[in-house]
Amino acid sequence: MKVKAGDELAPLEIAVTRTLIVAGAIASRDYQDVHHDAELAREKGSPDIFMNILTTNGLVGRYVTDRLGPSAVLRKVAIRLGAPNYPGDTMVLSGTVTAVADDGTAEVAVVGSNGLGRHVTGTVTVGVPQGAA
């Protein structure tokens, strides 16, 4: 798949269910109670459980490779979290290709927005074989 700077990736809507939050936490071996126990999360000042950073990282990586095709290989993923992903919310991931090097390495600026604001902003560096031109 050929990409060029300025290309926008089609958005991806993620339903932030309680199941996704817990499944992501456990699949990433993260047993912090704030990611599975609503009562203990509230005691710590959070209104509910919230998605862990490893799940967000995984979803950002999935989004970029989903959109750029199976030959795309992740090189770097750098993310910063903002508004938490609480159950019942929807996160919409969107991305813009900001640069493409001669060797096909692309930089993608990714934003994941939920009902509260920006859950995640980040930059993904991805190798995209350019194929025969």
Partner 1 sequence: MTAGTGAPEDPDELYGRLKEFEGRAAATAGTGKDPVNEPMIRHWCEAMGDTDPAYRGPDAVAPPTMLQAWTMGGLSGHTDRSAAYEELFGLLDGAGYTSVVATDCEQEYLRPLRPGDRITFDAVVESVSERKTTKLGTGYFVTTRMDVRADGELAGTHRFRILKYTPAAAKRKTRGGGRNLRPRPVINRDNAGFWQGVAEHRLLIQRCTGCGTLRFPWLPGCNACGCQEWDTVEASGEGTVFSHVVMHHPPFPAFAADGAGGPYAVALIELAEGVRMVANVIGVPYDKVRPGMPVRLEFLRTEPELELPVFRGGEG
Residue 58 interacting with partner 1 (CB under 8 A): yes
Residue of 5, 27, 40, 92 interacting with partner 1 (CB under 8 A): 27
Question: From the CB of 6, what's the least distance to partner 1, in Å?
Answer: 25
Site string for partner 1, 65-94 (x = CB under 8 A): xx---x--xxxxxxxxxx------------
Report the residue from 29, 39, 102, 131 that binds partner 1 according to the rule CB under 8 A.
29
- Our CB check for partner 1 shows the closer of 6 and 98 to be 98
* CB of 110 closer than 8 Å to CB of 121: yes
Distance separating alpha carbons of residues 110 and 107, to the nearest angstrom: 10
Query: Looking at 32, 88, 90, 115, which residue binds partner 1 (CB under 8 A)?
Result: 32
Tell me, what amino acid is at 116?
Answer: L
Residues in contact with partner 1 by the rule CB under 8 A: 14, 20, 23-24, 26-32, 44-45, 52-55, 57-62, 65-66, 70, 73-82
